[in-house]
Chain A
C-alpha cells in the first residue's frame, strides 16, 4: 500500500490502532473456545493438522483476561511474541502521534542470512512437535 503523503499514513496508522483496540475488546468479550463466533483455521479445517498459529485467538483471549498459563497452553508462540506485538503497537502509536517511524528489530546473535531459515525451521518443528506430541 503506497500513500504519497505522510498525513494520510499517520491517519491510517491511527485508524489501524483504533480497529485493533476494538478487535481486542471484542476478543476479550467473546471466548474463542465456544464455536460459532470465529471462523475455523483453514489449515486445520482442510487437513485436520494443527498449524503453528492454531490457538492464537484462545491464547490472546486468555492473555486479555490475565491468564498466562491458559495462554501458554493454547499457543506458547503467541505468548512469546506478545512483547514484540506490544512494542509494534507502541511503534505504530508513536508514528501516528509524531510521524517518526522507528524500525522494529529483534536483538539476535544470528547473522542476517540465517535468521529467516532458522525461523522457518523453528515454525515447522513447532508444527510437527505439536501434532506428534499432541
Chain B
C-alpha cells in the first residue's frame, strides 16, 4: 500500500471517530517520516536475531553539486561536467535504497570537483607565468 493510500485510510479512520486527533497526528507523522527516509533493502536476518542494532537513519550525503557547478563555471569545465553528472546520481541512488552507491557517487563528484579546481588553478598559473615571462 502506498504512503498516500495509508494517509487516506488514516484520514477516514479519524473522520469516523476510530482514531483521536492525537493518534491521527502521530500515525501521520510516522508515515511521512517513512516516506522521506530511503527505503531499506530486504533484510535477510529478522531484527530479533540481529547482533547489532539497526543502522540509524542518516541524512542523504552532500552531493557536492554546488562545488561541481562552481568548478564547471570557473575552472576546468570538462572535469566539472563529470562532477555534475556524478553529483546528480547521488539522490537517485539514495532514494533507490542504495546508500553505499550514493556515498560513492558523492565522493566521486567531490574528487572530480577537486581535479577541476586543480587543473583550473594550474592552467591559470601557466597563463600568468607565460604572460609575465613574455614581458
- A residues sitting closer than 8 Å to B (CB atoms) are 1-2, 16, 19-20, 22-23, 26, 30, 37-39, 53, 56, 77-78, 81, 84-85, 88, 103-106, 111-113, 115-117, 119-120
Contacts and interface: CB of A to CB of B under 8 A. Distances in A.
Given A56-B74, A116-B87, A116-B88, A23 B128 contact: yes
A77 B69 CA distance: 11
Interface residues of B, number: 33
Given A39-B127, A77-B73, A112 B63 contact: yes
- Which of B64, B73, B124 is most buried by chain A, counting CB atoms within 10 A of its CB? B73
B84 A105 contact: no
A26 B128 contact: yes
Given A112-B60, A117-B88, A1 B118 contact: yes
Interface of B: 60, 62-67, 69-70, 72-74, 77, 84-85, 87-88, 90-92, 94-95, 111, 114-115, 117-118, 121, 124-125, 127-128, 131
